């Protein structure tokens, strides 16, 4: 770990990531962002996203973008360019034994990840969300604020579980799904799409 961190994206999600980076011991934290005006907060917008190459070597990197496709595109670009992408885990998250956390994962305050779970690269476990034992969360999926994933659930790639949604135990959700806020998933989802309601059904 270096003591300097460059975060791609200075939106709300990026700024939450910056606060975690600070708690993880980074001494200097900068943002690279194409749109943000320099806000008077603690961290500086040092340049545009494509300025990232200037910082390779001296800085660790994190992709602080919530939108799945944009996060994945930057992740792939930075990885190919040799940037050191790290994970950020809030000190008030609870991480069980034998939890595997791959590269570029964000775990926010109050999240609980229980034993045997694997979080693949670029995933987000947001504030007060939980992922119970023996789950897999595949690449670039996002467990939103207050969502709960019960034991032995398998979540595909690029899946977004909306705020407060619940996935009961032993469920499989295929790639590229969006689960609406507050939905309860009680059956496997085998066709990509948006699912809402209790029990969750595909949204037409
Ligand atoms: C599911 C979702 C993507 C649908 O968005 P959308 O396609 O723009 O849908 P709309 O807002 O146009 O709503 C269409 C209909 O679905 C209903 N609906 C929307 N979201 C719903 C949800 N989560 N549960 C139940 N019904 C929902 C609306 O009430 C509306 O019903 P109506 O036609 O009877 O009025 C969105 O509402 C949602 O749940 N987003 C989650 C956001 C989130 O959790 N963010 C987390 C950030 S950490």
Which residue numbers are catalytic? 133
Ligand 1 contact via 180 beta carbon (within 6 Å): yes
| Residues 161, 61 within the same domain | no
204 domain-assigned? no
In the prediction, which pLDDT does 41 show?
78
| Residues 48, 135 within the same domain | no
pLDDT in tens, the chain (204 residues): 899 999 999 999 999 999 999 999 999 999 999 987 766 578 999 999 999 999 999 999 999 999 999 999 999 999 999 999 999 999 999 999 999 999 999 999 999 999 999 999 999 999 999 999 999 999 999 999 999 999 999 999 999 999 999 999 999 999 999 999 999 999 999 999 999 999 999 998
* Domain span including residue 126: 89-198
Structurally, the chain folds into a number of domains equal to 2
Ligand 1 contact via 163 beta carbon (within 6 Å): yes
**Does the model's pTM come out above 0.75?**
yes
Which of 8, 17, 6 is CA-nearest to residue 56? 6
| Residues 74, 97 within the same domain | no
75 C-alpha to center of ligand 1: Å? 28
| Residues 44, 79 within the same domain | yes
Out of 68, 86, 104, pick the residue that ends a domain.
86
Domain containing residue 65: CATH number: 3.40.50.20
Out of 54, 86, 118, pick the residue that ends a domain.
86
| Residues 93, 124 within the same domain | yes
In the prediction, which pLDDT does 197 show?
98
């Amino acid at each position: 770990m270096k003591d300097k961190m460059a975060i791609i994206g200075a939106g709300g999600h990026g700024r939450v990531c910056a606060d975690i980076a600070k708690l993880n011991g980074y001494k200097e934290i900068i943002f690279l962002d194409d749109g943000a005006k320099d806000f008077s907060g603690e961290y500086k917008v040092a340049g545009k996203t494509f300025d990232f190459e200037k910082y390779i070597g001296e800085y660790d990197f994190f992709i602080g973008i919530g939108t799945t496709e944009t996060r994945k595109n930057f992740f792939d670009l930075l990885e190919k360019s040799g940037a050191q992408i790290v994970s950020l885990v809030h000190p008030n998250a609870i991480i069980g034994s034998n939890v595997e956390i791959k590269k570029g994962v964000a775990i926010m305050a109050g999240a609980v990840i229980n034993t045997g779970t694997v979080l693949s690269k670029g995933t987000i476990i947001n504030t007060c969300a939980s992922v119970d034992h023996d789950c897999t969360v595949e690449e670039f999926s996002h467990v939103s604020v207050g969502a709960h994933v019960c034991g032995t659930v398998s979540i595909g790639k690029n899946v977004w579980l909306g705020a407060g949604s619940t996935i009961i135990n032993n469920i499989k959700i295929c790639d590229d799904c969006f689960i609406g806020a507050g939905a309860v998933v009680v059956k496997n989802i085998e066709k990509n799409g948006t699912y809402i309601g209790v029990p969750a059904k595909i949204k037409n």
